[in-house]
Structure 1
Amino acid sequence: MQKKIKAGIIGATGLAGEGVLDILIKHPNVEVTVLTSDSSTGKNITDVFPKYKDIIDIPLVAIDLDTISNQCELIFLTKKDPASMNLVKPLIDNNVKVIDLGGEFRLKDFKEYESWYGHEHLAKDLLSQASYGLSELNREEIKTAKLIANPGCYPTGSILGLTPLIKNNLIDLNTITIISYSGISGAGRAPSNGNTFINCNENIKAYAVGGSHKHTPEIEQGLSMYSGQEVKVSFTPHLAPMERGIFSSISSNAINGVTQEKLVEALKSAYENEHYVRVFDDPSQIQISNVKNTNFCDLGVALDSRTNRVLLFTALDNLTKGAASQAIQNMNLMFGFDESTAI
């Protein structure tokens, strides 16, 4: 019988932390030992989430690095607070592996991070150690990593969908436009005027327009890294009246000679052995309802021969494949478990 690893969650009462815990309590190779919460310190996890009654009985505590280091082999870091960067080096120095679900270690260039995120990067020396946790494209590096930068929700679908098309020289790199639609949960659990029911129900709107969304450089970095070519994109996210999910409609000029068959084959050959990336012949079957509460990323592609445009469609659940279940997928790789365990 395989020994259980001891894992903890920093920020266990946020949406991402809750999502990770939902999976960890089902994982046969994990014992949850530490749960922290800034907002609910001193309470039991069941006080915040009654659904865990008689399933898990753990108090929510303040962050104490000595306690965490003594009780955990792995930490899921789900806080978006920039100060959370200061937690990572002490944990790694104490042989605690870290999967960071925030954006602090995704960009390799700290100057780019500071430009897009608007504050200083507090752990520059760790950027070279951080492995980008897109399992399907970075599996071998993830297996030996001590620090994983779990990908953003928008970049996950865009990078998985576009990389095979770029690698096979099927699209014009100077004409990539990404239009994405996200459920309200993408804004997190904290309430704001923009994500209240009255403002979101039966409504849809663009935000971070003009290429200002923080996931833009992550998408460009990922596409450039996996394709071996510098890539720039125009990315505009939208808030859609749904709880969860991300649907992206991506277009680009086709390279001369591209056919529908070549586009579909590029995706299928790239992911023929990947359980969690599904390629559909009919792009109209790419729907959020098919991926909700799963670790799947669904892809479909079509050629608009009249305008010579390639149309790529991706769908995933922002809380699972875009966050929690992808983090568990990375954990399974890091510790030598079957990649699909508990997902």
Structure 2
Amino acid sequence: MEAWETEIGRGVPANGLDALRSVTDRVQANIEKVIEGKPEVARTALVVLLAEGHLLIEDVPGVGKTMLSKALARSIDLTVRRIQFTPDLLPSDVTGVSIFNQDTREFEFRPGGIFANIVIGDEINRASPKTQAAMLECMEEGQVTVDNQTFLLDAPFMVVATQNPLEMEGTYALPEAQRDRFLARVSMGYPVMAAEIAMLSARETTSPIDELEPVTDAAEIRKLISIVGGVHVAASVQRYTVALITATRTSPDLRLGASPRATLHLVRAAKAAAAMAGRDYVVPDDIATLAPAVLAHRLLPTVEASMSGRGPAEILSGILAAVAVPDQ
């Protein structure tokens, strides 16, 4: 660890890291008032926010996917919009539409639901592929193009999308191009018994989400994002990351490995995680810990691997065990 640290130009001041940890701890504590017993999920959501990415939350109905996204949104004084994805949702409902004004005799742009700092896309895989595709430019480039006009989205910009497993009725599989634009995917899972009992008592009369107050704002989040950008990644850690990504592309169990965008996302997420841990440098453990959340949803197993019951997470686990970890 000392070798990784000595390569650093000390570009991140210590008080900046202290401020970052203070803010993220407050936001995480706020989220955990609503989502009990899932600190790792709340932490991953914050990593994605600071890495300027987008989060996909996948699990069965009723486990708190939408509640997590709403708790994150309410913890920060940002503009928030929710888009309920349904089979009849149109692309223009997401991006906006130009409408002819009879009084001015000109076309006026009416922004869609994507124009907010945090966009909650509820049950994103219930919309048609055409509507899902309307999110591609927004998520990758932070802008919307309608009728040859380009509109920039305010920073920070984050899509927090929820989806049900494909076995559920009325769902469409997200195309590979859209899955690749989500920095990380997490699953909520069922709560432990103690947390579920506590939930029954806490929600007898009111919902904890209604009592949440913002603990930070957009300006402060932008400052924290700039701090994360200054976190150092040593050459050995870069080589380790690329080795992991390359191994997914050459694995006989995968017909689609991770993209170069996945490499960038993994490093950005590791920098955010390192800053949240109080370090201004990334260590290989940051990469390895985040790899399942950042990479698994992008990988497609071969037919043979699927038939033998091996999914992307299990295959990735084997790759992580096989790739040598640098010691300096």
**What range is the shorter-chain TM-score in?**
under 0.3
Q: Larger relative CO (CA 8 A, sep 6+): 1 or 2? A: 2
Q: Greater strand percent: which structure?
A: 1
TM-score of the superposition, structure 2-length normalised? 0.27
TM-score of the superposition, structure 1-length normalised? 0.26
Q: Greater helix percent: which structure?
A: 2
